[in-house]
């Protein structure tokens, strides 16, 4: 299988013209062999590069077996809110569908609507995978875990095994401004949290407002520690803020390569979506 990795520019090169436009050139290809594509779609430039690659492969009548998307822009705009705003996820989905991949794998989609819009797609719940395999089975941390689900979206997204105790939270927003107003632990039986390691799980951390609001509520439950596990970490400032509020923070490199230059706090661990 031939692999073209747009994120690492393996099997291709991405140039930038003086006006800022991106331009993709692929290495020599065997037209008889199928191709797999690996990418992040964090912005319009990333999407345009993927569209260019799709154009190259389609004109050469090559089969695209798998399209792996580590991060998908517009995941949160997964419905038409009103007629004066765009249905952004559908715009992105239409561009992806035009590429014609046989299989599309999306890391941690925000909701089921993503798969309903993108043909032949499946969602890989990285948060759940890393919770089960990267944290529960870790020999280093030895955590006695209670899973924490921050809102209704997380409750719908993750199905915690019955053998693992869990609690649910909720948040309230101003419907007009979107501002976060309050946070509560809605599970009545919270004695299971005392002297345990609470792991709050969600798909995305931007500014960290939800997690910062929930941290003091979780501390009130007298746990041994509180940790945060999110797949898509967007802002360095947001990571630094939540790292001050939580004992451990677990993120992935789905959105970008968080390296030494990022100056991540010592209590942040990065799991690898992109190897």
Q: Where are the domains of the chain?
A: 2-124, 126-271
- The CATH architecture that domain 126-271 belongs to is 3-Layer(aba) Sandwich (3.40)
3-state secondary structure (DSSP) of residue 30: coil
pLDDT at position 141: 60
For residue 42, count other CB atoms closer than 10 A to its CB.
18
Which bin fits 127, alpha (ψ -120 to 50), beta or left (φ > 0)?
Answer: alpha
Give the pLDDT of the chain (275 residues) as one tens digit per residue: 899 999 999 999 999 999 999 999 999 999 999 999 999 999 999 999 999 999 999 999 999 999 999 999 999 888 888 888 899 999 999 999 999 999 999 999 998 899 999 999 999 989 999 888 888 776 556 678 999 999 988 998 999 988 899 999 998 877 666 677 788 999 888 999 999 999 999 999 999 999 999 999 999 999 999 999 999 999 999 999 999 999 999 999 999 999 766 789 999 999 999 87
pLDDT value, residue 71: 97
Identical fold between 2-124 and 126-271: yes
Residue 7 neighbours by CB distance under 10 Å: 22
Helix axes 44-59, 88-99, angle to 10 degrees: 20
Pairing of strands 180-185, 12-16: unpaired
What pLDDT was estimated at residue 263? 84
What integer pLDDT is reported at residue 117 of this predicted model? 96
pTM for this prediction: 0.92
Checking 132-140 for CB contacts under 8 A at 24+ apart, the result is 134/250, 134/271, 135/199, 135/227, 135/229, 135/250, 136/164
Q: The domain 2-124: what is its CATH number?
A: 3.40.50.2020
């Amino acid at each position: 299988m031939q692999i073209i990795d747009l994120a690492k520019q393996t099997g291709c090169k991405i140039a930038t013209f003086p006006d800022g436009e991106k331009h993709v050139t692929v290495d020599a290809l065997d037209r008889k062999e199928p191709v797999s594509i690996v990418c992040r779609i964090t912005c319009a430039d990333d999407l345009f590069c993927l569209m260019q690659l799709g154009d190259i492969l389609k004109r050469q009548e090559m089969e695209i077996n798998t399209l792996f998307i580590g991060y998908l822009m517009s995941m949160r705009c997964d419905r038409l809110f009103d007629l004066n705003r765009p249905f952004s996820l559908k715009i992105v989905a239409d561009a992806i569908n035009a590429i014609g991949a046989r299989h599309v794998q999306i890391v941690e989609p925000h909701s089921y609507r993503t798969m309903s819009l993108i043909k032949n797609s499946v969602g890989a719940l990285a948060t759940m995978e890393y919770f089960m395999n990267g944290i529960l089975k870790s020999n280093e941390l030895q955590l006695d875990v209670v899973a924490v689900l921050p809102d209704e979206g997380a409750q719908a997204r993750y199905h915690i095994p019955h053998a693992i105790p869990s609690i649910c939270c909720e948040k309230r927003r101003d419907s007009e401004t979107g501002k976060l107003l309050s946070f509560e632990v809605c599970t009545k039986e919270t004695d299971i949290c005392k002297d345990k390691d609470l792991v709050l799980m969600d798909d995305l951390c931007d500014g960290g407002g939800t997690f910062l609001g929930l941290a003091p509520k979780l501390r009130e439950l007298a746990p041994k520690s509180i940790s945060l596990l999110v797949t898509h970490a967007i802002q360095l400032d947001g990571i630094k803020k939540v790292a001050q509020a939580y004992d451990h923070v677990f993120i992935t490199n789905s959105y970008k390569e968080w390296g030494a230059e990022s100056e991540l706090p010592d209590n942040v661990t990065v799991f690898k979506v992109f190897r």
